[in-house]
Amino acid sequence: MSDKMRHGLTTAILLFILVPVGEAIWLDVPTTGTKCVSEEIQSNIVVLADYIIISEDHSLKPTISAKVTSPYGNNLHHSENVTHGEFAFTTKESGNYIACFWADAKSHGNKDVSINVEWKTGIATKDWASIAKREKLEGVELEIRKLEGAVEAIHENLIYLRNKEADMRTVSEKTNSRVAWCSMMSLGICIVVSGLQVAYLKHYFEKKKLI
């Protein structure tokens, strides 16, 4: 293998590593209250997740409730009195998607409930085995296909970050402009009030024949 091919393959592998994959989260849900996790996701991204209770005490069969909401507060998933579950959706707006869990009363013996949550987004949700079987891909062809997906995901993420930065810059510039105008108006009001005070005092002293 030539040095150029090695360099290209190394770069491709690094790009693939940089793409977020499935994330496993361990949560300890308190006896009272709610434990939530959130992730900022851009629009038109596929999200797959499943959760399951991990209990070492087999004498107890704790259950939980789960709720997933979008950045605008829309209900995407809601389950009650379950030991495990899963949800899947395609994001319609960019922002923080929140998944909250709480233990059902009297099902956990006043002990914290441990939950394992596996959260996948974007390219991590693709079933590469099915894709390879359907399109008859194998070996290097399959890996190249994965790398193409990884590069595309990185490109979309960079565009999202650039647009978000532009929006934040616009908001910052508008805020600075409003602050500047407010400062100028405040200064103008102070000057006018000071002039009126001087004129009033001058008129008062002249009336009292003090000056």
Going from the C-alpha of 27 to that of each of 116, 125, 187, the distances in angstroms are 6, 22, 54
pLDDT value of position 160: 82
Are the beta carbons of 113 and 56 closer than 8 angstroms? no
Cβ contact 84:50 at 8 Å: yes
Tell me, what's the pLDDT at 17?
Answer: 43
| pLDDT tens digit sequence for 143-168 | 777 787 778 878 877 888 888 888 88
Give per-residue pLDDT as tens, 93-110.
Answer: 988 999 999 987 665 566
8 A C-beta contact, residue 6 and residue 97: no
pTM higher than 0.75: no
